[in-house]
Amino acid sequence: MEKTSPEPISVAILDCDYQFACQPEERKALKAAAVYLDERMRSIKDSGTLMALERIAVMAALNLSDELLKLQKNEKHRQENVDSRIRMLADELDEALDG
């Protein structure tokens, strides 16, 4: 399968245009990520406190990092529960087959 070349893409975040290059199959995800980041940064900007763009970006990055870490922790906990349940069911199956 032949790899395609990255194509230019422009996204707007807080009314600033940013130019990137990405694979054609990644365009939709990049645009969605830019819209999401724009919404988060606007929410911080509209909170009433005057902040420089850099500070808004750092606040958004910290908020998103916190969310990601919480989701990863929840996923790990969920996976541990699934693994425990599978072991328990396997033990019950072994007992039923042996008994």
Domain at 88, CATH number = 3.30.160.880
Is residue 1, in this structure, part of any structural domain at all? no
Q: Which of 17, 23, 21 shows the shortest CA–CA distance to 9?
A: 21
Residues of the domain holding 44: 7-98
Q: What is the pLDDT of residue 51?
A: 83
Quote the tokens at residue 14: 């807080």
Is residue 2, in this structure, part of any structural domain at all? no
Domain count of the chain?
A: 1
Yes or no: say if 31 and 7 are a contact pair by the CB < 8 Å rule. no
Quote the tokens at residue 90: 């396997």
14-60 per-position pLDDT tens digit: 999 999 999 999 999 999 999 999 999 999 999 988 789 999 999 99
Is residue 80, in this structure, part of any structural domain at all? yes
Is residue 20, in this structure, part of any structural domain at all? yes
Q: What is the pLDDT of residue 66?
A: 98
Q: What is the pLDDT of residue 48?
A: 80
The pTM of this model reads: 0.75
Is residue 49, in this structure, part of any structural domain at all? yes
